[in-house]
Amino acid sequence: MSRQTISKLGFLAAAAASFAFSVGLWFNGFKEQGAFVGLWVPSILSLGTLIMAGNKYE
């Protein structure tokens, strides 16, 4: 497996973990915290896209 594939999977795993944690918080009564953690998902995916796009020009 290439380094780029591992990086992509890492970012997707981090986003999925953030989403799962957000849903867990929401349904356990911590709605504000769940919404806050839910905002991490697009941020993590955007960071991954930025880093992956930067690697193309090396």
Q: Would the pLDDT of 22 be above 80?
A: yes
Percentage with pLDDT > 70 across the chain: 93
Q: Which residue has the higher pLDDT, 26 or 7?
A: 26
Tell me if 4 sits within 8 A of 55, measured CB to CB: yes
DSSP one-letter code for 44: H
Residue 12: count other Cβ atoms within 10 Å of its Cβ.
13
* Residue ranges covered by each domain of the chain: 3-53
pLDDT digits (tens, 9 = 90+) for 37-58: 999 999 999 999 998 887 666 5
pTM: 0.84
Q: Tell me, what's the pLDDT at 57?
A: 60
